[in-house]
Structure 1
Amino acid sequence: MFDCVAGEFEVDPARTIMVGDRLDTDILMGNDCGLTTLLTLTGVTALDEVRGHQDSGCPARHSLVPDYYVNSIADLLPALGE
């Protein structure tokens, strides 16, 4: 899906961030596509789940770990205004 969008709109993966609330869809796709990933904890995923994947020795589970997380998408608003 990202390849289609990136090709059509000349999106640079190095300058793109995938924001989502699910590890097994949003964050996995972002990581698989070489994007920076940001998990918002207002959805279905809890921080304990992220830590479980991060602490595991399984490479497949590591692909479910986001680069960053925020408690709420609203936490991004101050940064977007700068």
Structure 2
Amino acid sequence: MALEQGHAVEVRARILHVFDGVTRLLGEVERAGYGLRHLALDATSSAVTLSILVPDGTDLSVLAARLSHHPTVVEAQVGAPS
């Protein structure tokens, strides 16, 4: 069994369409090869929080921009877990 490498960051996003927004965020996380640790969805406010495992040295501003480029994602902020 491989040990996880890197550190956890939290992604907080506002999305326009719940299922499409979550699917696109998860697709980007998977394409980048990051591990998903936790997902929380508040469908009433269209807010999603992901805890993901990223390699050390990951540029969080680039990650936020990458996650925000989908039309259904209004805003994505990436930072240390709360």
- TM bracket (short chain): under 0.3
State the TM-score, normalized to the length of structure 2.
0.27
> Which protein, 1 or 2, shows the higher relative CO under an 8 Å CA cutoff with sep ≥ 6?
2
State the TM-score, normalized to the length of structure 1.
0.27
Specify which structure has the higher proportion of helix.
1
Name which one, 1 or 2, has greater alpha-carbon Rg: 1
